[in-house]
Structure 1
Amino acid sequence: MQDPFASLYPQHLATVRERADQALALGGFDHLLIAAGAPPRKFMDDQDYPFVVNPHFKHWLPLTDAPGSWIAYTPGSKPRLIFVQPRDYWHVVPQAPHGYWVEHFDVTIVRSAADAMAALPAGHRAVIATDCPAVDGVETDDTRANNPQDVLDYLHWYRSCKTPYELALMREASRIGTRAHRAAEAAFRAGESEFDIHMAYLASARQTDAELPYASIVALNEHGAVLHYTNFDRTPPAHPRSFLIDAGASAAGYASDITRTYAASHAPEFQALIDSVDAAQQGFVAKVRAGQSYSDLHIHAHLVLAGVLREHGFIRMSAESAVESGVTGAFFPHGLGHPIGLQVHDVAGFQQSERGGSIARPDGHPYLRMTRVLEPGMVVTIEPGLYFIDMLLAELRDKPAAADIDWAKVNHFSQYGGIRIEDDVVCTDGAPENLTRDAFAQS
C-alpha cells in the first residue's frame, strides 16, 4: 500500500529547493548546510535531554530522530543527507533511511557526528544550526555564514505558506490530537485525576511526552485559570466542576495545537458561558481570510468577548469601554493565536517582508504572537479565552471600571478557572479550512 503522503512529497521538495535557491542567491552562498542538531547534555551529568530536531531539517524530509546528521544542498544538484548511524550498543541505533522520500536524496551513512561534518562540502556555505558561530565544529571565515539573517528571513517568510504535503501532515496531526482529546474528555467524565487524564491522552495518541509538540495542559477546576498549567495533580478533586485541556500531536514533525473546555454535568451556568465563547470563536475562524490583518482580528476578538461578558452579566459597561479601559485584558490576557506548522509557535509571525523587518503589536497587547496579514496557505490558531485569574482581577479592582463589574458573579465563576477554545485554521483562496473541527467530526 502506497504511503498517502508519497504523491505530495516531490512537489513539496521542489518548492523547498526553489526557496533555498533564491535564499542562497540573495545571500551570495554556494551551499546550504542544515544540521539536525544534537540533544543537550544535562548539567553535570552524562545523560541528555530528549532530542528535538532543527525545524529547518525536518522541513526537507520527514526525519525527526537523526541527531548529528546533516542536509547539504547545492543549487542544481540532488540534495544530500549525511546520516549518522553510530556503532552503539548502549542505545537503539537509528535504522537506515527508508520511505517515500529517500529516492530524492543522495544518502551517505557515517558512524559519527565528526564523520558527518567531514563529509560536508567546502566553499561559501550558509549554515543553519544551533550554537553559532562554530556550529558543531563547522568553522567558517565569514560569521555571516552562521544562520545568516538574510537567508533565514527569506526562508521563514515563505515557510509561512504551507505546501499541500505539509497541510496533509497537519491534517494527520489534527486527527491524532482530536482522537486523544476524546479520550481525555472521557477520563474527565469518569472522575479521573489530571495525571490519569494525561495518561489517557498519551495512550490514545500513541505518542510519548517527548514526541508531543508541546507540554500538555490538563487543568481541572481553578487550575484552568493558570494559562500554562502543567502540574498534573495525582489525586482527583473532590468535586470536579470544569476541565480545560490544551494538547496537540505530531505527524512527521508537524504540529497540531488544540484546546477544549468542558463543564461538569452539574454546572449548566459554566456550560452556557463555554457555548458563548465557542460561538464567538467560530466567528473569528470565519474571518481567517486572505487580506485579513491578524492584529485587527485580535482587537475584534476583544470587542466580541466584551459582548459575551456583558451578555452573561459580568460587566455593565459597553464593549468599547471594556476594551478601552483594559477590562477585557484582565479576562483575556493572551493573544488570539499564532502561526503553526513545523513549530507550535511557528516563525515569521511578525515579519514585514521576505527581507525581514517587524510589524509591531497593537498598543496594550504585548502577548499577541502574530501581526501579519493573512495569505492563502498560512495556518494559524484561533484561541480566544475568558479566565478568572486572581492576580489580574485584583489589579482590576483598583481601576475606575471596577464599579461596572459584578464582583459577586466573578467570584462565583472563579471556581471554574477559565475557558479556552482553540482550532488550527488554514487560510485559503476562499472559505477557511478548520483542521481541528474537521478532525473532531471524523473522530
Structure 2
Amino acid sequence: MEHLSELYRDHLNILNARAKEILTREKMAGLVIHSGQLHRQFLDDMDYPFKVNPHFKAWVPVVDNPNSWLVINGVDKPKLLFYKPQDFWHKVADIPDDYWTPHVDIQILTKADQVAEYLPSNLNDWAYIGEHLDVAEVLGLSARNPDAVMHYLHFHRASKTPYELACMREANRIAVLGHTAAKEAFFGGGSEYDILLAYLAATGQGENDLPYGNIIGLNENAAILHYMVQERKAPAQRHSFLIDAGASCVGYAADITRTYAFEKNPFYDLIKAMDQLQLAVIDMMAPGVKYADLHQATHDKLASVLLDAGLATGTAEDLLASGVTRAFFPHGLGHMIGLQVHDVGGFAQDDRGTHLAAPESHPFLRCTRALEAGQVLTIEPGLYIIDSLLADLQPAAKALVNWSAVDQFRPFGGIRIEDNVVVHADSIENMTRECGLVD
C-alpha cells in the first residue's frame, strides 16, 4: 500500500499542475467538483444506482458517496467535503482511511444543503464541474462546466499517470478472473444467465459495480453488438460464445471481449484468424500513429481474412471499395478507456477543443487522435453475420459475398476480440494478455 500511496501522491501532483495551468489560462480561482446526487425513480421512493461524476473520481477514489465535493485551486491539497449524514435508514459511508487519505484535506459534511458553509466565500471566479447545474446556480457558481476548462481536462485525461495505469492493470486482472470463469461455464453447459453469475462470482463485483452491463451472447446472439438479454435457458445446441465484460478498480475500467467455439471447426479457425489480426494491429501501435489509420489497416487485414475463410470472393481491394468489409465489421476499432469505458477526448486534437470527427466512411469510430505515450485504448476488431447489413449491400458488392458460407457461419453469430493496450514511449503493453487472458 505504501507504493500505491506514492503513486497516488504523484498522481495528485500531476492533476494539480494541470488544474493550475487551465485556471491560470482562464483567469479562474479554482474548481468545485461535485460527486453527484441520487436520482429518484419515477413514482417511487427508491433511487437509481448512483454513478459518480468521472471528474470527481479522477481526484479521489470515492465512487459510491453522493453529495460530496472537491475544492481544487491547483496549489494546495485537494479539499474533500465528504458526505456523512445521520441516517438510520441506510448504511452511511465510513470516514475514509486508506492509502490516499494523507494526501487530501478531508472535511465531514453532515447535511447536503449546508455545503455552502464549506466552500470559498466568493465563488465568482470558481467553476462548477458536475451534472447538477441547478445546485450550482443556487450556490452562486455562474461558470458551470465551462467549455475551455472541460476541453482541457478531457484532452489531458487521455494521458494516464502511473497511478492510473496501476489501477487499470488491477481492473484487467479482476476482469480476467471473470472471463476465465465465464469460459468454463460456457463449456460446462451454462445458459447466458448462468455464465453471468459465474462472471460476477469470480470478479467479486455486482452488476452495479461493473463499468458497464455485460454482453454475454450464445450462438446467433453473438452477432448483436450490444446484446443485453441474458437468456435463462441454455440453447439446445451450443455453437459459440461471445463475452464483452469488464471490471472496475477504484473507478477505473477494464473492457475485454473474447469469442469461443464449442468445437474445433471452421468457426474456431476463423476466431484464430481474427486473434492474429488483432495482435498484428496492436503491433502497429506506436506514438505518432493515427488511430484512424489503425482502423483502416484493420479493414485491410479483414479483407484477407474474409477471402481466406471463403466468406467473400474477388480481391481485397474489391471488398474494401464496395463496402463488404464494413458490412462484416460495422463498428470502430476501439476507444480510449480509463475513468469511463468510452473515455472522453477521443476526437480532441488539442486541449482547446479542436474536433476531428470520424471519417464519413467509418462513422462509428470513437477516436481520431494520434497515439501518445500514456494513452490506453481498446483494440477490438470484429467479424459478424448481420443479415440487415449484408442485405443493404449494393448488387455489385453482394456478388462478392459467398452466401453459402454466410449460411454456414450464421448460427455462430460473430467474433470480437478486445484487449486494453497502453502506449509507452518505446513499447506497447497489452494489459489484458499480460494478466493471463490469451484466448
* Interval of TM-score (by shorter of Structure 1 and Structure 2): over 0.9
Could you tell me how far apart the structure 1 residues matched to 2:407 and 2:24 are?
Answer: 60
What's 1:56 paired with?
Answer: 55
* 8 A contact 1:179–1:440 mirrored in 2: no
Secondary structure in structure 1 of the residue aligned to 2:70: strand
* Cα offsets for 1:407-442 (capped at 9, x unmatched): 011111000000000000001111210000001259
- 1:132 CA displacement: 2.4
Q: Is the 8 A contact 1:332 1:384 kept in 2?
A: yes
Q: Would you say the 8 A contact 1:281–1:382 is kept in 2? A: yes
Match of residue 238 from structure 1: 236
Q: 1:193 aligns with which of 188, 191, 196?
A: 191
Q: Is the 8 A contact 1:218 1:230 kept in 2?
A: yes
Query: What's the counterpart of residue 287 of structure 2?
Result: 290
1:372 is aligned to 369
Could you tell me which of 325, 329, 354 is aligned with 1:328?
Answer: 325
| Alignment size in residue pairs | 437
Inter-CA distance 168–442: structure 2 relative to 1 (3 Å threshold): farther
* Aligned ranges 1:25-424 → 2 under 5 Å: 25-121=24-120, 122-123=122-123, 124-132=125-133, 134-135=135-136, 137-140=138-141, 142=142, 145-265=143-263, 267-396=264-393, 398-424=394-420
Structure 1, residues 245-293: CA drift from partner, whole Å, max 9, x if none? 000000000000000000002x411100000000000011112210000
C-alpha displacement of 1:136: 7.4
Residues 109-158 of structure 1, C-alpha deviation per residue, up to 9 Å, x if partnerless? 02122122431113311110003254374333x4xx10011011111111
- Partner Cα distance (2:116, 2:66) in 1: 12
Q: Distance in 2 between matches of 1:338 and 1:167?
A: 16
4+ residue runs of structure 1 moved beyond 4 angstroms? none
**Residue 104 of structure 1: CA displacement?**
1.3
Instruction: Tell me the amino acid that sits aligned with residue 420 of structure 1.
Output: R
- Deviation, 1:75, is 3.3
The answer (yes or no) to whether the contact 2:171–2:248 under 8 Å persists in 1 is yes
1:433 is paired with a residue of what secondary structure?
strand
Is it true that 1:436 corresponds to 2:427 in the alignment? no
Within 2, Cα distance between the matches of 1:325 and 1:187?
A: 40
Which consecutive residues of structure 1, in runs of 5 or more, have no partner in the other structure?
none
Pairwise CA distance, 1:45: 1.5
Secondary structure of residue in 2 paired with 1:250: strand
**Structure 1 residue 79 displacement after superposition:** 1.5
1:227 and 1:441, CA in 2 relative to 1: closer, same or farther beyond 3 A?
A: closer
- Mapped to 2, the partners of 1:198 and 1:94 lie a distance apart of 29
Q: Counterpart of 1:201 in structure 2: which amino acid?
A: Y
Question: Helix, strand or coil: the match of 1:17?
Answer: helix
Deviations 1:167-191 (A, max 9, x none): 0000000000001100000000000
Q: Which amino acid is 1:74 matched to?
A: N
SS of 2:106 mapped into structure 1: strand
Distance 2:437 2:404 in 1: 38
Residue 390 of structure 2 contacts residue 398 of structure 2 at CA under 8 Å; is this kept in 1? Answer: no
Structure 2 counterpart SS, 1:256 = strand
CA contact (8 A) 1:288 1:426 kept: no
Kept in 2, the 8 Å contact 1:26–1:150? The answer is no
User: Counterparts of 2:49 and 2:247 in 1: how far apart (Å)?
Assistant: 16
Q: Which residue of 2 aligns with 1:426?
A: 422
Choose 370-379 or 69-78, whichever is displaced more. Answer: 69-78
- Contact kept, 8 Å, 2:16 with 2:75, in 1: the verdict is no
RMSD of Structure 2 on Structure 1 (CA): 1.4
**How does the TM-score come out when normalised to structure 2?**
0.97
Whole-Å separation in 1 of the counterparts to 2:33 and 2:372: 27
Question: What is the aligned partner in structure 2 of residue 8 from structure 1?
Answer: 7
Contact map agreement 1:288 1:425 (CA 8 A) in 2: no
1:30-60 Cα shifts (integer Å, max 9, x gaps): 0210000012211121211100111111111
Q: Which amino acid aligns with 2:130?
A: A
- One-letter amino acid of the structure 2 residue matched with residue 127 of structure 1: Y
Unaligned runs of 5+ in 2: none
- Rounded Cα–Cα distance in structure 1 between residues aligned with 2:283 and 2:136: 44
More displaced 10-residue stretch of structure 1: 128-137 or 69-78: 128-137
Deviation at 1:6, TM superposition (A): 1.6
Deviation at 1:7, TM superposition (A): 2.3
Q: In structure 2, what is the Cα distance between the partners aligned to 1:296 and 1:135? A: 42
1:181-219 Cα deviation digits (max 9, x unpaired): 000000000000000100000000000000000000000
TM-score, structure 1 normalization: 0.96
One-letter identity of the residue aligned with 1:107: I
